[in-house]
Structure 1
Amino acid sequence: MPAPTSSDSQVLRAVRRHTQAENPSSFLTLNSGNEVFTSPDTQGVIVYRRAGRFLVQFGGPFADEDSYKELLRRFVAYAHQRGLRVVGVQLQFKDAGAYARNGFTVNQIGASWAVDLSVFTLRGTRFMQLRNKISRARRNGLRVTEVDAADASRWQDGLREIDEAWLGTKGDDARALEFLVGQIGGPAQKHRRLFLGTIEDRPVGYISYAPVYGSRAGWMHDLSRRVPGGSPGLMEAINAHAIEVFTAEEVAWLHFGFTPFTGLDVNLELDGHSPSFRWLMHFLWEHGEQLYPAKSQLAYKEKWAPQLRIPEYVAFDGDASPAAFAHIFRACNAF
């Protein structure tokens, strides 16, 4: 069995070319710290991180139809030969069906959300409160600029200050999440877009957008942070500015990314799913704010009235496993 290999260019080619699953978060495969599995005589890649006795796989195989099943089979065999198990997260609906047919227990874990920019407008009474927050941030001196990748180093210290201040509000033991959220910097930065908010030339917030491929191509509202205690409406104003830029460029979709425990629907579960794990996801939606602030994350996304809800799934190599579920969060640096 071949060993894993790692090549950013190889992964980028795969997620651009193999878009059958329509995964709006596919660019996260290029995060530093990921490992990449390939195999001879197959076309495509599997991206994962090891956490304890689990290989936590991001999305399904980014592979053509002829290689998809075989690449998955070899990856599972690679794990089993080393005494490890596989758990896949952020699988799309097409992936979920393929994994279920290959012996995995598959459950919905949450959803991602998207706005059709071809029809989006902030006009109308439903957006009155949002417009007021944006206007207030602008009256308080907010200026929003898109930072070119070549110029990002000029703002590096300011971005680091935002990150440190933001993380400081999360508690003494808080960690910056990884794996299922994006990054800033590195070779992949040239493919992302960064919008920075400043007041009196001091950085106060930013949003990083990652490219989305496939039939709903566009940009994904990814990593976003702000200084605590600043003007209300900072993030809303930065995102509104980005939307204006994307709309002028005729970008079709703005994606808001994956939020666990949201958009759960028993009608979206597959045959053979785990009822007990389904119960756990609904329980965490109601009571799991300390694990992940799903309700506040969804509230921000719903401000923009997304028209599209995209269910996302978790797949367990065998029975649904609380240990495997916990190791997803371990792979994300949550604990």
Structure 2
Amino acid sequence: MTDVMEETDSVLDAIQRYTVADNPSAFLALNSGNSYFTSENSPGVIVYRTTGRYLVQFAGPFAPEETRSRLLREFTEFARAQDRKIVAVQVQAGDTAPYVEQGFTINQMGSSFAVGLDDFTLRGTAFMQLRNKISRSLRSGLEIKEVPLDSWYEEMRALDKLWLGTKGEEVKQLEFLIGQYGGRYQHLRRLFVGVLDGRLTGYITYSPVYGQQAGWLHDLTRRHPDSPPGVMEAINKAAIDTFKAEGVHWLHFGFTPFTALEARPPLPGHNRAFHWFMGHLWKHGEGVYPAQTQLAYKEKWAPDRITPEYLAFQDGASIPGLVHIFRACNAV
């Protein structure tokens, strides 16, 4: 147990210290179920999951800029010794250089979204529908508060099960690229709940974001199927008000696949056919991932920072590589 605790503590240190590429989802590196590659020769850590013949890497190497390339090279040797390939997901533009250098194929998979809170307001006609939706939910008697996890843990687990049941019999709980609650680092997260008539009707967890755009990541969300419209928006608005009062500069809404794809990929070595395929999944891939629904929620808040995020394929872009990412996420 001590070894595991020391390992994850070193991962936390790495994502806090090495913020070269400012990955807003970096805290997901601490999800249970992840594996970690480290080297005696290169500081830092690489986060991954083993899925079939692939090592699915989360983000770029969390390491000093001058040693990221060496750490990635050692990781490729580690994969080769197992006769496996690497596919990396949620790689930031600032992390792509080592992959290009080592012959990976880099393609955009989607984008992440963030709202600057310094001047954020819901005043004005652009937010009229959102304000009205929030007001209706509050008139229903909804109470919103920030709470410790322990006081609502059992209710949250029950809501998780109920929520998942509305998605279909064969739908599984997603993981890897989505947050968790509980565990060793829960004290670093924040939890806002909506309560109606004493019953938990929705919640949002927020994870810390480090780097130049430090703030909070709007992470795991659940809503009771019988809750009134506007519950999640009201919870998030309450969290925004709290963050603004604390002087927080950024609220990140995280990564959405297939969205805000660049018309002309800027990075060398990209695969044009795979770029087309990402666009195809945006239009027709609802069964793979509800990207349009996710984006619609994020656009309600008028994000003013949209950041492309990339896939990095060892030995060329491939559909099997993409499928194994979704396998690591428990989506297929």
1:149-164 equivalences under 5 Å are: 152-164=149-161
Structure 2 CA distance for aligned equivalents of residues 165 and 140 of structure 1: 22
TM-score, normalised to structure 2's length?
Answer: 0.97
Query: In the alignment, what sits opposite 1:135?
Result: 135
How far 1:43 moved relative to its partner? 1.0
Matched, 1:273 2:274: no
- For structure 2, the residue ranges without an aligned partner over 5 or more in a row are none
Query: In the alignment, what sits opposite 2:323?
Result: 326
How far 1:97 moved relative to its partner? 3.1
SS in 2 for 1:138: helix
- For structure 1, the residue ranges without an aligned partner over 5 or more in a row are none
1:122-271 equivalences under 5 Å are: 122-148=122-148, 152-271=149-268
Structure 1 residues 135-144 or 242-251, which shifts more? 135-144
SS in 1 for 2:152: helix
Identity of paired residues, percent?
55
TM-score, normalised to structure 1's length?
Answer: 0.96
Does the 8 Å contact 1:108/1:269 carry over to 2? no
How far 1:41 moved relative to its partner? 2.3
Does the 8 Å contact 1:6/1:36 carry over to 2? no
Residue identity matched to 1:72: L
Say what the alpha-carbon RMSD is for the aligned residues: 1.2
How far 1:155 moved relative to its partner? 1.1
SS in 1 for 2:96: helix
Structure 1 CA distance for aligned equivalents of residues 81 and 263 of structure 2: 35
How far 1:147 moved relative to its partner? 1.2
Q: Which runs of 4+ in 1 moved over 4 A?
A: none
Aligned residues: 329
Structure 2 CA distance for aligned equivalents of residues 9 and 200 of structure 1: 40
Does the 8 Å contact 1:14/1:63 carry over to 2? yes
Query: In the alignment, what sits opposite 2:20?
Result: 20
Structure 2 CA distance for aligned equivalents of residues 197 and 8 of structure 1: 31
Does the 8 Å contact 1:268/1:311 carry over to 2? no
Query: In the alignment, what sits opposite 1:32?
Result: 32
How far 1:268 moved relative to its partner? 3.9
Residue identity matched to 2:31: N
SS in 1 for 2:251: strand
Does the 8 Å contact 1:107/1:269 carry over to 2? no
Deviation string 1:144-200 (CA, Å, 9 cap, x unpaired) is 11112xxx2221121012101110111000011000000010011111001011101
Does the 8 Å contact 1:105/1:317 carry over to 2? yes
SS in 2 for 1:204: strand
Matched, 1:306 2:303: yes
How far 1:271 moved relative to its partner? 1.7
Deviation string 1:24-48 (CA, Å, 9 cap, x unpaired) is 0000000000000000021100000
SS in 2 for 1:262: coil
Structure 2 CA distance for aligned equivalents of residues 220 and 263 of structure 1: 19
Does the 8 Å contact 1:5/1:37 carry over to 2? no
Residue identity matched to 1:35: S
Structure 2 CA distance for aligned equivalents of residues 170 and 96 of structure 1: 35
Does the 8 Å contact 2:48/2:57 carry over to 1? yes
SS in 2 for 1:280: helix
